[in-house]
Structure formats: C-alpha cells, structure tokens
Structure 1
Amino acid sequence: MVDLKSLKSKGERGFLDGQFLIAMPGMADSNFYRSVVYICAHSADGAMGFVINQPQQLTFVDILLHLKVIADEDAILLPDETREFPIRKGGPVETGRGFVLHTDDYLTQSSIPVSEEMCLTATVDIIRAMSRGKGPSKAALMLGYAGWGAGQIEDEIANNGWLTCPADEALIFDRGLADKYNRALALMGINPAMLSMQAGHG
C-alpha cells in the first residue's frame, strides 16, 4: 500500500505531482480503461492518485446511511444537491474506504494538503459536514484509490500506457463523469477518435 502521508512528508515532488494521467486506448488493466487519474503524490517511493471519472453504484445517501450519519426517515428530507452528489471509483486499492478531495476552505486535523488549493480528507467528519451543507465549496468523494510502487508508474508511461498533462481543478470536481475522459484529452488538444486510430496501428 502506498501511503500518502509518507509520500508527502518527505518533501519530495515527483514530476507527476498534480498531473492527470489519461489512459491510452491500449491500456491493459481493465481497472483503468478510459480513466483519468489525478496524481496526489509522486516520489521515488511510488505514486498515489484517484480515478476521477468512473461512477460508483452507491449513492451519497447510501454512504450517509451506512455510516449512520442520518437515519432512514431523514434521507428523503435531504436536498437534491446532496442526494445527487456522485460517488466515484477512486481506484482498485482499499475500495471500501472513502476519500474526499476538496478545496482548502474546509480543514480538519486529518486533512492532508495535496496542492496549493486542494486537500484530502478521509474521515467521517467531512461526510457529516457535507450532508449538512457545511462542507467544502467543492469536493469529490471516491471509494478506493490508485497506488503504484517505486518506478511502476514511470514504466507504464514509458510503455505508452498513459498520457500526462497538468491537472485541471474544474475537471476534478465537475460532476459530469460520462464525457470527462474526452474533455481531459481536449485539455491536450487531442481528439479521442484520432487517438484510437493511432493506437490501432502497430
């Protein structure tokens, strides 16, 4: 398991810190098919990030009920904005654990800075605050994360598994997951159809 705190605490910044990884059409790992991954930390020891465009079957209300943040009879009273908050598959590691990427206008002692403007919090407190409309102004809730050991992600990039580009905060928090892959490619000026055609030639 890659530990975000240990990756961050060493003060190293890898070249993938704060970058998007965009899966190439030939990505062999089905966990990352057409995925966009935001890298929170990268160093010589490995990398950790979150898939930001894969929907989770569970709803935010399911999460609130499971954590006993609200009672069954209160679920119907939640505003639509809260009920429709999307949950994402953050990656194949620790899929039962929740992580919230969010703006730094909400902080607790357990919040870890991942960029100048974003933090990561993985405690129930932030879920409770979000359910009451007192959470961060922007947030993305993921179950699970993506982790790579030392040198692993560098090898995958060298083998044409990923494209990389600077992360776009608006795209991270955007609730429209279905076309996020294409929009991430558009940040690089790439037409998805052209990418697929190029990948077909070997």
Structure 2
Amino acid sequence: MLSKLKPSAGKLLISEPFLNDPNFKRSVILMAEHNEDGTLGFILNQPSLLLLKDLMPDLWQADFPVFIGGPVEVDTIHFIHRCYDKLNSGEEIANGIYWGGNYETLKILVNNNSLSQDEVKFFLGYSGWSIGQLNEEIKENTWIVSNQFKQDIVFSQNEEQLWRDVIINLGPKYAHVSNFPSDPSLN
C-alpha cells in the first residue's frame, strides 16, 4: 500500500493490515504534531478498560472512556475535542478538532455534564516518532497517510469498526484491504 500524502498535523495514519506490532495493530492515529522534532499522535481505536474518573478523582462525573494513545509516556493524559465554543482553548490540529485546552474549564464542564463523548476523547500516553522515523516507516508501507475523514470518525465510539471504515473511505483502490483477516495465515 503506497501513501502519497506527506504526514502532517491533522491527518490520519492508518496501519497496514498485517502490522504485527501489538501497539499498533489495525490502528488509526490522529497526528497532532509533525515538525522538525518528530511526530506525535493518538491512537483513536484502542480503548483501555478505564474511565476518566478512575484516573482523575476530581472529575467524579467523568464516565468517559480512556483510550491508549500510544506506548510513549503512558503516565500522562491527553485529550482532543471539537467543542472550542465550550472550552475556549486548545490547539487546532485539523478543521474543528483541537488538542488540549484549559484543564480547569474542562473539569467544570465534565462535572456539570456539559460535555458528551462525541465532543471529547481522552488518551493515556501518545504515539511518537523521532525525526525521519515516520517517513521511513511510510516508505516501508507500514502506514497510509490520509486526510479523507470527517470529524465523526475521530470521535467514533465504534472502535472495532474504525480501522475498516477509514480504509474503505480511502476509495476503491483500498476498500478490498478492509476485508483482509488480521492474521494472514487465515487468508
């Protein structure tokens, strides 16, 4: 699978169907940063068994699922959102999708039930690549870079279907890949 787009913030990284790395198997990653220092993103379709309130007791109303953002700094919590009108903070990484924001405002909104799961997504850790590392992995056909997605994909609650939906969104050239089994020996 060849990727013609270059990586940048706001694009998706889609793992090739037979990637054996357990951290990234059938992963869809939203890139939040791509610059001269490297790349940082969050895996959108790897839920943990935790809720946000399990990790942050001051967010007692936070029944939000927490996703595994990646294998780097798994002791940190990050969030992306599409509710700038409520948070009035965050760095825009894609059209209408923001990374981070004011924690105190977030806490008030969560505890007042003013945010929904389709507006914000929380992550433990992140996925990171050093300078040039991601470009090499793309050349090796480990990843497809895509900008063909809607906001709803990023905030999808159907994690098992997300990789497949994103592959199908790439068009007929890639759609057949969505039916490949995760274990090639089953093919």
1:69 and 2:59 are equivalent in the alignment:
yes
1:20 and 2:1 are equivalent in the alignment:
no
In 1, are the aligned partners of 2:87 and 2:102 still within 8 Å (CA)? Answer: no
2:86 to 106, 111, 114: 106
1:58 and 2:42 are equivalent in the alignment:
no
**In 2 relative to 1, CA 37–98 (structure 1 residues): closer, same or farther, beyond 3 Å?**
same
Return the alpha-carbon distance in structure 1 between the equivalents of residues 155 and 67 of structure 2: 11
2:109 to 129, 135, 159: 129
| Structure 2 equivalent of residue 181 of structure 1 | 163
2:41 to 46, 49, 53: 49
1:138 and 2:107 are equivalent in the alignment:
no
Return the alpha-carbon distance in structure 1 between the equivalents of residues 144 and 126 of structure 2: 19
Alignment of 1:81-100 (within 5 A): 83=63, 85-100=64-79
Query: What TM-score comes out, normalization by structure 1 length?
Result: 0.74
Return the alpha-carbon distance in structure 2 between the equivalents of residues 90 and 16 of structure 1: 17
Per-residue deviation, 1:115 = 2.7
In 1, are the aligned partners of 2:87 and 2:101 still within 8 Å (CA)? Answer: no
Q: Deviations over 1:101-137 (max 9, x none)?
A: 001223356x222234121116642244223223477
Return the alpha-carbon distance in structure 2 between the equivalents of residues 128 and 177 of structure 1: 27
Return the alpha-carbon distance in structure 2 between the equivalents of residues 194 and 178 of structure 1: 13
| Structure 1 equivalent of residue 139 of structure 2 | 158
**In 2 relative to 1, CA 128–177 (structure 1 residues): closer, same or farther, beyond 3 Å?**
farther
- Look at both structures and tell me which one has the larger radius of gyration over its CA atoms: 1
Q: CA RMSD in A?
A: 2.5
**Structure 1 segments unaligned to the other structure (5+ residues):** 1-13, 71-77
Return the alpha-carbon distance in structure 1 between the equivalents of residues 112 and 176 of structure 2: 41
Return the alpha-carbon distance in structure 1 between the equivalents of residues 34 and 145 of structure 2: 13
Return the alpha-carbon distance in structure 1 between the equivalents of residues 37 and 16 of structure 2: 24
| Structure 1 equivalent of residue 28 of structure 2 | 36
Return the alpha-carbon distance in structure 2 between the equivalents of residues 127 and 178 of structure 1: 29
Return the alpha-carbon distance in structure 1 between the equivalents of residues 22 and 170 of structure 2: 23
Number of residue pairs aligned between Structure 1 and Structure 2: 172
User: What secondary structure is seen at the aligned counterpart in 1 of 2:134?
Assistant: helix
Per-residue deviation, 1:28 = 3.9
**Structure 2 segments unaligned to the other structure (5+ residues):** 1-5
1:185 alignment partner AA: I
Per-residue deviation, 1:178 = 1.7
Q: Deviations over 1:35-75 (max 9, x none)?
A: 1001112123311110000011112331343xx333xxxxx
1:134 alignment partner AA: S
